[in-house]
Amino acid sequence: MTANDREWVDKTKKLILEKESLVADRTGDKIPYTTVNGIFDDKSDVRDINWWTNGFYGGMLWLMFKETGDEKYARMAKNIADKISVCFDRYYQLDHDMGFLWLPTDVASYRLTGDENGRRRGLHAANILAGRFNPAGNYIRAWNDGIGKENGPTSNVGWCIIDCLMNLPLLYWASKETGDPRFKHVAMLHADMAIKNFLREDGSVNHIVEINPETGEFVQSFGGQGYGLGSSWTRGQSWALYGFLLSYLYTGEKRYLKASEKVADYFVSCIPESGLIPVDFRQPKEPAYEDSTAAAIASCGLLELAKANPSNASKYEEAALKMLKALTEKRCNFTDKTDNILEYCTASYHANDHHFAIIYGDFFFMEAIFKLAGSDFKVW
């Protein structure tokens, strides 16, 4: 980075630290997903406690604890983890997003404080995630029946999604923590399946793939949260970019690094001049839907990829800086008027709502800025 880049990083980090301290004080025990009139909502209700994004605010608190040492963040994060633990009693609601729920919360707590409750619950979550593995097809099943039926089959027992690559670190961590290689084996078999069935020749990826759960054969892919079949949902590209790289970092297997580079090269080639990322790289010009979360997640992956591949480091770092600066200048709210930082986030192209606050956007933006500032804390 240049001297000007470092000055920008330091300034942005300071803005984050100041804002998040104020937001934490008024958020209390909430588990937010989005904002209502600028104020965080709360997903800790028994109906929503299993929602897949519920670990991200706890993760933000642990990021803040690591940077500041302020115990208030640790206390709040542990309260969130205690609330989420009720999910273990709700079998039907648990799916492949165990990593998103327990890595930023209980596992982070264990890594930073030695919290034995965090270790125990993290390993419990890893066992549940590994239990979703189907050796016919070598995939971790995404959701349970009742979700997504309108998109295809009457049962989604054969469905897996690109997002799951970001949940695999829970399994890698469990293998390292216990010395039991079965978790790692499951994670690698799923990652290999993703290279085969999700990664396209041009470096773009499918969002949803259906595999025959009896024979293991590829059945079809779905457009999922992107524009349509065969399109390029940008958050899916970012999950793949970062997720394949994480498998490489945990295993040292070059095929995962190669897969991450392939997705990254495609992603970088599609970044608009503005640096602002659309919901889908193949969406129509109008309406011009954006997804700031895709930019933040991809930036995290690119920054790690730059360290893993020094020969292309400048290309990947420059792309990350371009997106993060665009977010900082045009899509961030650092005032105390709103609880969120990132704006113009979108969950799905065909959803009714676009361009609102989503908690994982803030998490990955903070992660990226803290990486640039020199943080060595690994959530994933």
- Token pair 């990593």 is found at 99
Residues 223 and 210: beta-carbon distance below 8 Å:
no
**By three-state DSSP, how is residue 95 classified?**
coil
Helix or strand (DSSP H, E) at 305? helix 292-308
Phi-psi region of 63 (alpha: psi -120 to 50; beta: other; left: phi over 0): alpha
Give the H/E segment covering residue 159: strand 159-161
Q: Which two tokens stand for residue 363?
A: 């998490």
Whole-number Å distance between alpha carbons of 315 and 116: 41
| Rounded Cα gap, residues 229 and 61, in angstroms | 37
How far apart CA 376 and CA 368 sit, in angstroms, is: 11
Say which residues have a Cβ less than 8 Å from residue 232's Cβ, sequence separation at least 6: 204, 205, 226, 270, 280, 281, 282
Neighbour tally for 312: CB within 10 Å: 15
Of all residues in the chain, what percent are helix, strand and coil, respectively (each to 5)? Answer: 55, 10, 35
DSSP conformational letter for 33: S
**Rounded CA separation 287/184 (Å):** 42
Give the separation between CA 61 and CA 40, rounded to whole angstroms: 15
Judge contact between 260 and 305, C-beta under 8 A.
yes
Active site residues: 97, 163
CA distance 298 to 296: 6
